[in-house]
């Protein structure tokens, strides 16, 4: 599948933003995070800018962005529509939570409930993002049980890294959060490895023979494509990545996306607050880059069944 | 709504049957499709760099060519492919705007261009490559089964068929109601073992493909090797004459 940068950026940024919103929406009303308004302002700013920025970026991918509002209508059947509805719905309780907390200093009662509601909706939005891909039967590398857990784990990991940074910025000693972050990095990494192992060892149960209904005489293979130039299908779904690039990019994703943020988070635990903040900031930047590479690979490594009609033997 | 219409028993299911035994791969159906539809319901079928390098554009029908089998039994199979108007069209259910829909009355899958936001998700959901994005209009387009021909009362009754079916010089394409088990197309499918494409995905395509027939084994006369004739000594006069002409011309 063609890795459109607007979608790669959108899923990475909104995943991190909604992940952070999930953590503060739950953590503050439950008293696990400090009710300090400066901390709250910074954390909510990060969460809003990333989630809303990501959604705006996704509109760039549309052929007719001015009609994007129409995408809220088909929530009964479409995961994309559900994602749109939930993402917008998240902002209403999140706004009440933000105003109540930052302007009136309230983190319990209605404000707290709105925080928890925003957290649930944020998690639901990320779940829908994963389901958009996991529901697409023609793509074996997406239509499997590893995709949604990967999206959720990476959103949680990115959110926790952002939370650590904000906690560090306002000189809170986030040891328990840092330990949780290390755990989240480990879980996200394991899930990514499991996903990669799955797509490396399995392929779709379709073939050129099943795609054409031929095969009574023996092996079926393409003789001629329909035309000598590319077409929309090949531009959109015929993207192929060389094996050596794939191996190298996975290595970079492992180092930049998981290993470095884990190491930097460990430094943030043991270092002085000033150094800890720098380490936490570097961890966020590194993980952001790592997830972008991971997300790019998620598209580039996905093989659509339509390529069976264009010479692909295995999808 | 992009919910699929409830299926009634004996529901009309308009579609195509394509005889892979007869198709000669002339691309006439693709050309006729382009010609009709670029002025039809989903017009225009935009082209880019139409006369230069990297030409590409919107086509609702494409002809692939495959080889099946090896050795003497092998054959070339030309394989036209357009929208299969599935009974479980995921392209419709993934559509976030309701632009994609399946008609309850005849099963034709269509796009309402004025609702389409061009997210391309339907093209990802279609394993058959039936969806065509018009990068100029920013919306998705697709085969309409020539809905503006088959119900067109301005056309003579015999012309109320998809353009690809009418034009086919080998009569390899058939149009009809595949929901009616007694229709000509359904009987053809039953008689020839018509196939669904990628049945494992469960999209239940309406269009069916008739596999190439198996030829009866024929005794092939064994010919004398050509080389033996060319080098034979005591030959008839004809060959001697030819050799003399050959020598003469080779000087």
Q: Summarize pLDDT for A81-136 with one digit per residue, the tens.
A: 999 999 999 999 999 999 999 999 999 999 999 999 999 999 999 999 999 999 99
Backbone angles phi, psi at B31, to 5 degrees: -70, -45
> Cβ separation of B94 and A208 shorter than 8 Å?
no
Chain A residues within an 8 Å CB radius of B121:
78, 80, 132
> Cβ separation of B96 and A135 shorter than 8 Å?
no
List CB contacts of B158: < 8 A, sequence separation 6 or more. Answer: none
Exposed (0-12), middle (13-18) or buried (19+): which is A202, by Cβ within 10 Å? exposed
Q: What is the pLDDT of residue B236?
A: 55
> Cβ separation of A71 and B97 shorter than 8 Å?
yes
Q: Within chain B, what is the greatest distance between any pair of CA atoms?
A: 85
**Beta bridge partners of residue A221, listed in sequence order:** B67
Q: Cα distance from B249 to chain A (closest Cα, Å)?
A: 41
Q: What is the pLDDT of residue B237?
A: 57
> Cβ separation of A220 and B124 shorter than 8 Å?
no
The residue-averaged pLDDT of A279-305 equals 97
Length of chain A (residues):
315
Q: What is the pLDDT of residue B224?
A: 67
A311 closest CA partner among A191, A159, A207, A181: A207
The rounded distance, in Å, linking the Cα atoms of A159 and A17 is 7
Interchain CB contacts (distance < 8 Å): A and B: 207
Q: What is the pLDDT of residue A154?
A: 98
- pTM score, two decimals? 0.91
Chain A residues within an 8 Å CB radius of B198:
206, 210-211, 305
Q: Cα distance from B59 to chain A (closest Cα, Å)?
A: 9
The rounded distance, in Å, linking the Cα atoms of B114 and B98 is 10
B72 closest CA partner among B217, B186, B194: B217
Chain B residues within an 8 Å CB radius of A232:
56, 58, 123, 132-133, 135
The rounded distance, in Å, linking the Cα atoms of A177 and A161 is 9
- Name the residue in chain A with its Cα closest to that of B54: A229
Helical ranges in A77-202 per DSSP H: 79-104, 109-134, 147-169, 175-201
The rounded distance, in Å, linking the Cα atoms of B228 and A283 is 81
Q: Cα distance from A241 to chain B (closest Cα, Å)?
A: 18
Backbone angles phi, psi at B213, to 5 degrees: -70, 150
Q: What is the pLDDT of residue B238?
A: 67
For residue A71, pLDDT beyond 90: yes
> Cβ separation of A77 and B1 shorter than 8 Å?
yes
> Cβ separation of B96 and A223 shorter than 8 Å?
no
Chain mean position to CA A73: 23
> Cβ separation of B65 and A224 shorter than 8 Å?
yes
The rounded distance, in Å, linking the Cα atoms of A158 and A287 is 7
Distances (CA, A) of A41 to A14, A34, A47, A57, A274: 18, 12, 10, 23, 20
> Cβ separation of A220 and B127 shorter than 8 Å?
no
- Name the residue in chain B with its Cα closest to that of A207: B198
A188 closest CA partner among A86, A258, A289, A292: A258
CB-nearest to A80 from B20, B57, B121 is B121
How high is the mean pLDDT in each 10-residue block of chain B (251 residues)?
75 96 97 96 94 93 97 93 97 97 96 97 98 97 97 96 98 97 97 97 98 81 62 59 87 80
Distances (CA, A) of A281 to A17, A163, A215, B227: 15, 10, 57, 81
Chain A residues within an 8 Å CB radius of B123:
232-233, 236-237
In contact, A257 and A298? CB cutoff 8 Å: no
Backbone angles phi, psi at A221, to 5 degrees: -145, 155
Is the preceding omega at residue B44 within 30 degrees of 0, hence cis?
A: yes
Confidence of residue A174 (pLDDT cuts 50, 70, 90): confident
For residue A214, pLDDT beyond 70: yes
Classify the phi-psi angles of A242: left when phi > 0, otherwise alpha if psi is within -120 to 50, otherwise beta: beta
Distances (CA, A) of B250 to A182, A305, B233, B245: 86, 57, 20, 8
Cα angle for residues A60, A63, A69 (degrees, 5° grid): 75
Chain A residues within an 8 Å CB radius of B134:
63
Task: List, as one string, the DSSP characters of B100-125.
Answer: EEE-TTT--EEE-TTT-----HHHHH
DSSP state of B195: B
Q: Which residues of B187-220 are buried (b: 16+ CB within 10 A; e: fewer)?
A: ebbeebebbbbbeebebebbbbbbbbeeeeeeee
> Cβ separation of A217 and B133 shorter than 8 Å?
no
A254 closest CA partner among A198, A186, A300, A301: A186
Q: What is the pLDDT of residue B226?
A: 62
Q: What is the pLDDT of residue B10?
A: 79
Cα angle for residues B19, B24, B26 (degrees, 5° grid): 120
Q: What is the pLDDT of residue B1?
A: 56
- Name the residue in chain B with its Cα closest to that of A75: B96
Q: Cα distance from B45 to chain A (closest Cα, Å)?
A: 12
Q: Cα distance from A228 to chain B (closest Cα, Å)?
A: 9
List CB contacts of A101: < 8 A, sequence separation 6 or more. Answer: A28, A35, A37, A40, A44, A107, A111, A115
Q: Cα distance from A19 to chain B (closest Cα, Å)?
A: 24
Q: pLDDT tens digit string along A154-170? A: 999 999 999 999 999 98
DSSP state of B6: P
CB-nearest to A232 from B30, B75, B133 is B133
The rounded distance, in Å, linking the Cα atoms of A238 and A138 is 13
Q: Within chain A, what is the greatest distance between any pair of CA atoms?
A: 77
The rounded distance, in Å, linking the Cα atoms of B203 and B4 is 12
CB-nearest to B70 from A80, A211, A219 is A219
> Cβ separation of A76 and B1 shorter than 8 Å?
yes
Q: Cα distance from B120 to chain A (closest Cα, Å)?
A: 8
A16 closest CA partner among A48, A57, A61: A48
Distances (CA, A) of B231 to A168, A174, B50, B224, B249: 95, 95, 54, 13, 18
The residue-averaged pLDDT of A268-289 equals 91
Percentage of residues in chain A with pLDDT exceeding 70?
A: 100
Instruction: Select the residue from A62, A211, A303, A313 to test the B interface by mutation, using most B Cβ atoms within 10 A.
Output: A211
């Amino acid at each position: 599948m063609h890795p459109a940068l607007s979608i790669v950026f959108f899923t990475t940024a909104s995943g991190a933003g909604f992940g952070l919103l999930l953590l503060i929406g739950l953590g503050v009303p439950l008293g696990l995070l400090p009710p300090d308004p400066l901390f709250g302002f910074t954390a909510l700013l990060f969460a809003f800018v990333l989630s809303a920025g990501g959604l705006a970026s996704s509109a760039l991918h549309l052929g007719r962005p001015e009609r994007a509002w129409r995408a809220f209508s088909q929530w009964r059947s479409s995961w994309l529509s559900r994602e749109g509805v939930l993402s917008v719905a998240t902002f209403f309780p999140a706004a009440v939570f933000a105003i109540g907390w930052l302007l009136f200093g309230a983190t319990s009662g209605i404000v707290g409930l709105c925080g928890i509601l925003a957290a649930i909706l944020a998690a639901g939005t990320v779940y829908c993002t994963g389901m958009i891909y996991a529901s697409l039967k023609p793509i074996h590398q997406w239509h499997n049980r590893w995709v949604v857990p990967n999206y959720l784990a990476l959103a949680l990991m990115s959110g926790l890294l952002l939370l650590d940074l904000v906690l560090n910025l306002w000189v809170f000693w986030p040891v328990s959060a840092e330990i949780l972050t290390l755990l989240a990095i480990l879980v996200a990494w394991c899930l990514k490895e499991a996903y990669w192992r799955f797509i490396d060892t399995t392929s779709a149960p379709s073939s050129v023979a099943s795609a054409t209904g031929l095969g009574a005489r023996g092996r079926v293979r393409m003789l001629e494509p329909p035309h000598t130039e590319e077409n929309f299908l090949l531009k959109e779904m015929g993207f192929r990545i060389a094996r050596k690039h794939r191996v190298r990019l996975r290595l970079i994703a492992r180092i930049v996306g998981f290993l470095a943020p884990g190491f930097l988070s460990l430094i943030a635990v043991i270092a002085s607050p000033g150094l800890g903040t720098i380490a936490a900031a570097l961890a966020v930047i590194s993980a952001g880059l790592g997830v972008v590479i991971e997300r790019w690979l998620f598209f580039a490594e996905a093989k659509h069944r339509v390529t069976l009609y264009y010479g692909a033997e295995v999808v | 709504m992009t919910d699929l219409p409830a299926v009634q028993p004996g529901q009309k299911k308009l579609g195509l049957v394509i005889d892979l035994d007869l198709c000669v791969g002339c691309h006439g159906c693709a050309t006729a499709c382009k010609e009709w539809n670029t002025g039809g319901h989903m017009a225009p079928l935009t082209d880019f760099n139409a006369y230069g390098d990297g030409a590409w554009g919107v086509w609702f029908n494409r002809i692939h060519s495959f080889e099946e089998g090896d050795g003497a039994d092998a054959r070339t199979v030309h394989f036209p492919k357009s929208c299969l108007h599935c009974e479980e069209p995921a392209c419709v259910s993934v559509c976030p705007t309701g632009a994609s829909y399946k008609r309850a009355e005849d099963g034709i899958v269509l796009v309402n261009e004025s609702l389409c936001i061009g997210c391309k998700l339907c093209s990802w959901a279609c394993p058959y490559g039936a969806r065509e994005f018009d990068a100029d209009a920013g919306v998705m387009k697709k085969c309409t089964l020539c809905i503006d021909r088959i119900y067109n009362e301005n056309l003579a009754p015999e012309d109320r068929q998809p353009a690809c079916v009418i034009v086919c010089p080998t009569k390899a394409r058939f149009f009809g109601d595949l929901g009616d088990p007694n229709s000509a197309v359904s009987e053809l499918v039953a008689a020839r073992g018509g196939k669904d494409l990628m049945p494992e995905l469960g999209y239940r395509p309406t269009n069916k493909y008739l596999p190439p027939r198996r030829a009866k084994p024929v005794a092939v006369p064994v010919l004398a090797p050509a080389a033996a004739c060319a080098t034979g000594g005591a030959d008839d006069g004809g060959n001697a004459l030819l050799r003399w002409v050959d020598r003469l011309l080779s000087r």
